[in-house]
Structure 1
Amino acid sequence: MPHPDLPILPSESSHLTQKFGRETANYFSGSPLNRLSFLRSDTAFLRLAYAHPRARFLLLNNLHPLVQGSDSSRLAFATHADVAPLAGADPFAKSEEEMVEGFDSREEQVVVVFLGVDEKGEVEVEQRGEGEGEFEYKGFRGPPYFAVDVTPRGKGTAAAEGLIEAVKGRGYAFHDHSPRHMGLHAGQAAMYGQARALVDWNARTPFCAQCGQPTLSVHAGTKRVCPPADKAPGVERRPCATRGTVANHSFPRTDPTVIMAIVSADGSKVLLGRNRRFPKDWYSTLAGFQEPGESIEEAVRREVWEESGVRVGRVILHSSQPWPFPASLMIGAIGQAQPDGEEIYLGHDAELEDAKWFPLDEVREALAKGVSSLGDPAPTSHVEGALRLPPPTAIANRLITAVVDGWWVSSRM
């Protein structure tokens, strides 16, 4: 059974659903927010949303999210009054054109990312404050949510440290027990994933990828531009191709990554591997980055052969998972080994320490008794020496479960 908190898409009776079953939604997907991406350049909207009494701000300190202290499964949020001393009372006062025209590389910019509007009221767990009316803009209603990078740095160190201490004084905490916080409720995990990926991208790319000059964050944290001029004395900006026809350099990148459960030719076994950082008896599906000029199916076949020596025939897509560490999209697939290609050989690529064919019954037993996160101890139901597998919040678990449940068989044309 899937994790009870994972997103479940509505049941419907289309021909595709009748053939393939209900669509799988994985952890870090299923955000409750309407992103309203077309309004990210609308300064009137952003100014109203940012300053509204019901606006809430997810704070990230060194990419660790603010949580409810004793309950690290739920995010905690700050208010406009909290973040204004650090991010400014009105950081969206200028349009993109005005920001570019007034660019001064001496000024430090606190990145504020617009996440979306909670139209269904699914996010906030705290009581509404007195005088907090509904936010509405052009028919869109609901509390607006932002993310703010509060990592102490540069001239903003004192304001950031003051904000951090203020929210800690309310019993909140920055969850830093694991770089991959998998304990959040699913919808809030999706919000954190979006916030983390964009805050991290802005922090990693302060310079233009084409010309190497300092850039400016615009579009509410979802785009960076390379201005043609600089107000700083004595600084002359060089020409840059991003100001012309290759502006795609200015947007966040997503790295496609294939992850696959490989079934034996006779359908009785599944191929799993382990690397050196895995705990004892812990195995997972194989995975790797898709390369330029390569289809998803080709990437699955290449990665499996390079890592395990197994040759794969037919490949079908199962589901995907946004993975904000830092910016991958895990493309889940199920493939079937060729009858004469099942021999395991680890000599091509040193990534795997071991790879094995596991009978489906053994895998089914592990799903019932040996599931845990990578850094957690084995569950009490686990028998020493038996197979251990990733948790339901990992797409690897969903792929393995799909194989055991026969999804790949019922999905054949």
Structure 2
Amino acid sequence: MPPVPELPEAPYPLEQDTSMLSRKFGREIINYFSSSPLNRVSFLRTDHAFLSAALRHPTSSFLLFNNLAPLAKDPAQLAYASYTDVRPLIGEDPYSKPEAELIKEFNSTVTIPQLIFLGIDEKQSEKGLQWNDYRGAPFFALDVTPKGTIEKACTALIEDMKSNGLTFIEGRMHTSLSAGEAAIYAQARSLLDWNARNPFCAQCGHPTLSINAGTKRTCPPTDLASVATPLAASSAPAAAAADPVPSQQRPPCATRKGVSNISFPRTDPTIIVAVLSADGSRVLLGRARRYPPYWYSTLAGFVEPAESIEDATRREVWEEAGVRVGRVVIHSTQPWPYPANLMIGALAQALPGGEEISLQHDPELEDAKWVGVDEISHALEFGTSGLGEEPSKEYKPGSLRLPPPTAIANQLLRAALDGYMLKAGTGEHKI
């Protein structure tokens, strides 16, 4: 089993933070998939001169994905291609023209390799790209899934990487990566997945174009591809109506008016909560049908429109487990790139008299139960594992199993035990 990665450390200046908030609430919790080592310099994504220089700089790195599986040396270490490696696929310089010109020349029959600028690694500033006040090694993500007019070039690049002993690691989750690489992977995967899911305009249904270095999409007003027009279909004979009629102008689209002319990446806010009993001695855990035997976790659910985090937490806990929750406190957050969730972790406490469990409202859970401090503490030490993974050798069969340290659910349970719960008769309980 791959080693469990170390959790991210708070980046400077947080690691030295002695502010009033830190003294009162403690150090900020940094969860897995967050705290990227890259400076995204998002304001440079429209600067094609910068992107061209970053693309071809000797220190540039390209993280390749095939059907969202990242290129890696092994399950614990990503692998990166160079500009020379990817040039046969992306061309000499896809940023050689300004965005306005690329939009004007849009041709929906030509498959454009999905390239995303991720940011610069300022720790590599000594040899990195110098651009005005910013310096670092540029990082990109590139989708090499064979498709459309770039199928052969993608296949050739994939085979080239495999000939170097590299592989595209499959799997639903990749939690054996180091903390820094996990954050880079999460950013890249989220944006590639979003682009792949939005090839067409949600308003008019026509193909869209990726812009802003892969972080936005637009619906061009023209298309150099030949399309069949309603006029041609109604006036030509049946045999000729199927023939495409050259046309550049697209029908009007609401996304080209005002400030709504661009589609932005989607992030779905999701609450996840460790619910303490009214007396602070137990935690509410739930079990979905897909979980392995004895595997439980904290409760979670999507935030709905016009709903606060606190309200969503109280609603989800009642709907899934029938428990009434009072006070809700935000603990920490975690990006979850499957495909684009932001897990908003909270600690909450059940209301006196509101602890009775009922699964009759929402059939999502197979079981829910209150678990005491000792059982949770033992499971956090010996019974943690990811879905599909085996627990440690010290795990006693039949005992409670919990999510691994890379999951925010694990961190919420640790927080609940470490400072929020009281062990009867002994005072504060630590793990």
What range is the shorter-chain TM-score in?
A: over 0.9
1:141 aligns with 2:135: yes
**Equivalent in the alignment of 1:212:** 205
Aligned to 1:21: 26
Q: Give SS of 1:187's match.
A: helix
Please give the alpha-carbon distance, in whole angstroms, between the structure 2 residues aligned to 1:249 and 1:38.
16
Give the whole-Å Cα distance in 2 for the aligned partners of 1:346 and 1:182: 31
Q: Please tell me whether the aligned partners of residues 43 and 93 of structure 1 are also in contact (alpha carbons under 8 angstroms).
A: yes
Equivalent in the alignment of 1:12: 17
| Separation of aligned partners in 2, 1:408 and 1:21 | 16
Equivalent in the alignment of 1:81: 84
Taking the TM superposition and a 5 Å limit, the aligned residue runs for 1:124-273 are 134-176=128-170, 178-232=171-225, 233-234=246-247, 236-245=249-258, 247=260, 250-273=263-286
| Structure 1: segments with no counterpart, 5+ residues | 123-131
Give the number of equivalent residue pairs: 397
Q: Are the equivalent residues in 2 in contact too, given 1:7–1:187 (CA < 8 A)? A: no
Partner residue of 1:405 out of 418, 425, 428: 418
Aligned to 1:95: 98
| Bigger mean CA offset, 109-118 vs 98-107 | 98-107
Task: Work out the CA distance in 2 between the residues paired with 1:3 and 1:343.
Answer: 38
Structure 2 letter corresponding to 1:218:
I
Q: Offset of 1:234 from its aligned partner?
A: 2.7
Kindly report structure 1 stretches of 4+ aligned residues shifted beyond 6 Å: none
User: Distance in 1 between the 2:341 and 2:185 partners?
Assistant: 15
CA–CA separation in structure 2 for the residues paired with 1:225 and 1:205: 10
Shift of 1:241: 1.7
1:117 aligned onto 2:94: no
Instruction: Determine the C-alpha separation between the residues in 2 that align with 1:201 and 1:17.
Output: 36
Taking a change above 3 Å as real, the CA distance of residues 315 and 5 of structure 1, as seen in their structure-2 partners, is: closer
The alpha carbon displacement at 1:370 in A equals: 0.6
2:372 is the alignment partner of 1:359: yes
State whether residues 257 and 290 of structure 1, in contact with CA within 8 Å, keep that contact through their aligned partners in structure 2. Answer: yes
The percent of aligned pairs where both chains have the same amino acid is 57
Cα deviation 1:17-69 (Å, max 9, x = unaligned)? 1111100000000110010000000000000000112111000010011111x
1:52-109 Cα distance to aligned partner (Å, 9 max, x none): 12111000010011111xx321110001111111111101112111111111222211
Distance in 2 (CA, whole Å) between partners of 1:3 and 1:234 is: 54
User: Per the alignment, do residues 33 and 408 of structure 1 end up closer, same or farther by CA in structure 2, a change over 3 Å counting?
Assistant: farther
> What TM-score comes out, normalization by structure 2 length?
0.89
CA contact (8 A) 2:5 2:176 kept: no
TM-score of the superposed pair, with normalisation by structure 1: 0.93
Quick check: 2:7–2:30 contact (8 Å CA) kept in 1?
Answer: no
> Which residues of structure 2 form unaligned runs of 5+?
226-245, 423-427
**What is the alpha-carbon distance in structure 2 between the residues aligned to residue 186 and residue 210 of structure 1?**
39
Rg larger in 1 or in 2?
2
| 2:320 is aligned with 1:317 | no
Q: 1:346 aligns with which of 354, 359, 363?
A: 359
Of 42, 47, 51, which aligns to 1:37? 42
The separation in 1 between residues aligned to 2:408 and 2:104, in whole angstroms, is 45
Structure 1 distance, partners of 2:370, 2:313, is 17
Name the residue aligned to 2:409: 396
Q: Counterpart amino acid of 1:145?
A: F
Q: Which amino acid aligns with 1:94?
A: K
* Deviation by residue 1:341-392 (Cα, 9 ceiling, x = unmatched): 1000001111100000000111011111111111101211111111100000
Structure 1 counterpart SS, 2:400: coil
The one-letter code matched in structure 1 to 2:97 is K
RMSD (CA atoms): 1.7
Give per-residue Cα distances to partners, 1:244-278, cap 9 Å, x unaligned: 23527511011000000000000000000011110
Q: Distance in 2 between matches of 1:350 and 1:246?
A: 42
Secondary structure at the aligned position of 1:144 is classed as strand
Which residue is equivalent to 1:59?
64
Secondary structure of the equivalent of 1:162? helix
Q: Name the counterpart of 1:128.
A: none
Q: Is the 1:7–1:27 contact (alpha carbons within 8 Å) kept by the matching residues of 2?
A: no
1:5 deviates by 3.8
Aligned mates of 1:403, 1:3 — CA distance in 2: 22
